[in-house]
Homo-oligomer: A and B are copies of this chain.
Amino acid sequence: MSINSFGHLFRFTTWGESHGPALGATVDGCPPGVRLEPAMIQQWMDKRRPGLNKNTTQRNEPDTVNILSGVYEGKTTGTPIQLMIENTDQRSKDYGDILNTFRPGHADITYHQKYGLRDPRGGGRSSARETASRVAAGGVAREAIKAIAANVQIKGYMTQMGTKKIDPAKVDWDQIDQNDFFCPDAEAAAEWNDYLAWLRKDDHNSVGAIIEVVARGVPAGIGAPVYAKLDTDLSAAMMSINAVKGVEIGEGMAAAALTGRDNADEIFMGSDGPEYSSNHAGGILGGISTGQDIVVRFAVKPTSSILSPRKSIRMDGSPTEVVTKGRHDPCVGIRAVPVGEAMMACVILDHLLLDRGQTGGVRGSIG
């Protein structure tokens, strides 16, 4: 069962609540002999962690990862890797109101309906804080990928904030880490900055976003049709992230509007193997990688916790209005970028391993 676990051979289970003593990921299936130091994971944690700048929640968590098992003298042993992150700044009093009130757009009401009870502190298990565990697992995956397929590069960035989209022609990977939004276009980043400041301070509102994650250098031939296709697993990976409402591969929803002639990625023989005239497919055919960039996009809904009042009910059914005063991100999409990257890393590693188990990793030759 995969209720709180993700992956086939590289498989992690996340645990922990927003305001409990700790949270983490139990990572199973990492190959042995991979170099792994906490700092290798920490660099990714630092991209996601709260309190980094004024555009994300002011909760201040160092998100220090402790490796409790599975590593001996700086190398993985092939046994489960326990990654624990202690919570330090749980201001539960901020959340007192939500004990008996269901916040619109939150999982309060459905957790109550399913489980009959819930941990209300900061959303408990349904909090986006769970994604810290994913980023930690993704850090492990990145190191293991290096050992197996050294050319793989994984990069995520925001392509849209609210109605403001970037021009695909202006995507510059070098810009991504130069601004608070993982925005690959410096000009757009400046504009987003002003917009978000106004939204947060003046409009007491929040806004959605679109994130794109690319895996470059993935060898052709990995993926497991038909119910563990690379795109199927990526879709599940991204849709499982809090607040995600849509996932696209390559052309995505826009593929509907194309004709077969326009959508064809024509094939040519290059010096290193097959090449393609375009990448409408997003690097995946029949669930298996083509060797092109693997391109996934996902939409994050606007944060439900806003300072503007919204109508709701209490547990006893009585009407109320909810205004969320806690520390929240005006655009949760920003911190979803490193989460999307982490999930991409986990899926790619998982399929590299799975493919070895299925075929021994031998590729059919062309030319």
Contacts and interface: CB of A to CB of B under 8 A. Distances in A.
Interface in A299-350: 299-306, 308, 310-313, 315-319, 333
A19 to B, nearest CB: 10
A110 B15 contact: no
Instruction: Give the number of times this chain occurs in the complex, counting copies.
Output: 4
A227 to B, nearest CB: 5
B9 A28 contact: no
Interface stretch (A47-55, A166-174, A266-274): A266-274
Contacts of A252: 245-246, 253, 299
A216 interface: no
Interface in A245-273: 245-269
Contact of A308 (B261, B285, B333, B357): B261
Interface in A151-194: 160-163
A222 interface: yes
Contacts of A126: 225-226, 286
A251 B301 contact: yes
Contact of A333 (B248, B256, B288, B301): B256
A32 B117 CA distance: 7
A208 B246 contact: no
A41 to B, nearest CB: 16
Contact of A285 (B8, B105, B260, B313): B105
Contacts of A274: 102, 109, 313
Most-contacted residue by chain B among A24, A66, A102 (CB, 10 A) = A24
A96 interface: no
Contact of A110 (B221, B233, B268): B221
Contact of A3 (B4, B24, B28): B28
Nearest to A281: B105
Given A110-B285, A206-B259, 17 more contacts: A13-B26, A16-B68, A32-B117, A32-B359, A104-B266, A109-B285, A113-B291, A208-B259, A231-B244, A240-B287, A245-B248, A246-B246, A246-B255, A255-B300, A260-B308, A268-B313, A356-B360
9 contacts: A9-B357, A15-B68, A17-B77, A29-B358, A113-B366, A226-B240, A245-B252, A260-B306, A360-B361
